[in-house]
Amino acid sequence: MKLPFFRIVLLLVLCVPVLAQQKPTLDYYLPADVRYDQNIPTPASWLGYEVGEWHTSHDQLIGYMRALDAASDRITLQEYGRSHENRPLVCLTITDPSNFARLNDIKSARQQMFNPQGTGKPNLKDIPAVYYMGYSIHGNEASGDHASMLVAYHLAAGQSQELTQLLKNTVILLDPCFNPDGLQRFANWINTNKSKTLSADQAGNEYNEPWPRGRTNHYGFDLNRDWLVARQPESVGRVALFQEWRPNVLTDHHEMGSNSTFFFQPGVPSRVNPITPARNQELTAKIATYHAKLLSEKKILFYTGENFDDFYYGKGSTYPDAQGCIGILFEQASSRGTAQETDNGLLTFPFTIRNQVYASLSSLQAVGDMRVELNEYLYSFYQSALEDASKAEVKGYLFTNEDAASAAFLDILGMHKITLPAEKHSVQTIRCSYHVSSPNTG
């Protein structure tokens, strides 16, 4: 049969998934029952488009965070390092304005919690919680760092009794982008290959990044394997920041395969590091009830406990578990672009961003509600570590400090604030050449 030309064209058009982009709004992302301070710039007022319409470059992301810092007395932005490509790594300290004057006092009070040989038990009810919110260590998992703009805006501009109370009792360290160079590479690819008329076809250029893709940093290192050995500048700065505060909770926002849904820890029980105390997993599970509740209310599909490990301490969601902190992994199915066809239907970038916002809000609520319980755990973690050490058969390790490998090893111990017997002064000298000065959050 001979098909007329216009029918062939029509068939071709019907075979290619084409969609018009629905523009998201701020209401789409944020709670409807919170009033927002008009003096704080929204992401759209600064970017010139709503979050999720484009892939925001790192300089735009940081520009908006600096604008929030300038406009809000709840925020102080600090630069804690530079990536290989000389992009700033920044952290927003977010808390009630009255807490900024006493940040050093808060730090000192918290020091007592992780110094089991100190003088008596501190009053844990009076000590603010510290919550480290970390986004998109894999640069092509962009829903996280895009959500960070909305979460930062919510924390800067939100006017509610619940939020006021949370900020009084909590110091939030919001790290909007763990991997600046990866984010920049990915955003550039997507925006360059996106069409005016969107295509959701998985075979489209937009959804097929070439090597080296945006996951890794400039030199191809997976920064989510580097928290323990800390060989990359991004990790060196971040570990110093973590050690400066030793937070109660750290959240780590990622993306996974496009055909999945949304995952939060606890991970699969058989793959939890045996050194991690059982109480850590219990508290992770308790915090998970907050995610489950909010996502259920919003009718978002999710799962937990079925996969993803909590074993290797070089990962951002596991490193905290070795230090009395609760590390939590989030994994959102990736649109890996603007809108992609998946087994579960069309997956849009704004939808993925919104889920990361939800997980951030549920975590904030959990930290606020569980503050004293989390302080109790942090305190007992260091107490029980001493008890466990006193029962252990191995009392120490002896090694020389005369070769480069030992010096590098001591450098790593020093980064994690693992102290050595006082007579090792010569070791300290070797370590100085590596050591990074602590950032100033005061």
Would you tell me which residues interact with Zn ion (CB under 5 A)? 138, 141, 254
CB of 64 to Zn ion, least distance (A): 23
- For 54, the token pair is 């484009």
d(CA 324, CA 130): 12
Give whichever of 141 and 181 is closer to Zn ion, judged by the CB atom: 141
Which residue number has the CB closest to Zn ion? 254
Give percent helix, percent strand, percent coil of the chain, each to the nearest 5: 45, 15, 40
Q: How far is the CB of 224 from Zn ion (least distance, A)?
A: 6
Q: Report how far residue 440's alpha carbon sits from residue 377's, in angstroms, rounded to the nearest whole number.
A: 27
The whole-angstrom separation of Cα 29 and Cα 323 is: 33
**Closer of 128 and 176 to Zn ion (Cβ):** 176
CB of 55 vs Zn ion, minimal distance in Å: 17
Q: State the Rg of the chain over Cα.
A: 23
**DSSP characters over 53-88:** SS---HHHHHHHHHHHHHH-TTEEEEEEEE-TT-PE
The smaller minimum CB distance to Zn ion, of residues 142 and 198, is found at 142
Which residue number, 87 or 254, has a Cβ lying nearer to Zn ion?
254
Cα 377 from Cα 374, distance rounded (Å): 5
Q: Smallest distance from the beta carbon of 255 to Zn ion, in angstroms?
A: 6
Closer Cβ to Zn ion, 110 or 254, answer by number: 254
**Cβ closest to Zn ion, residue 63 vs residue 257:** 257
Closest CB 182 distance from Zn ion, rounded Å: 10
Peptide bond into 247 cis (omega under 30): no
Please state, in angstroms and rounded to a whole number, the distance separating the CA atoms of residues 260 and 424. Answer: 51
Among candidate residues 153, 370, 181, the one with its CA nearest the CA of residue 283: 370
The CB-of-331 to Zn ion minimum distance in angstroms stands at 7
Neighbours of 214 (CB within 10 A): 25
Give yes or no for a contact between 276 and 321, defined as CB atoms under 8 angstroms apart.
Answer: yes
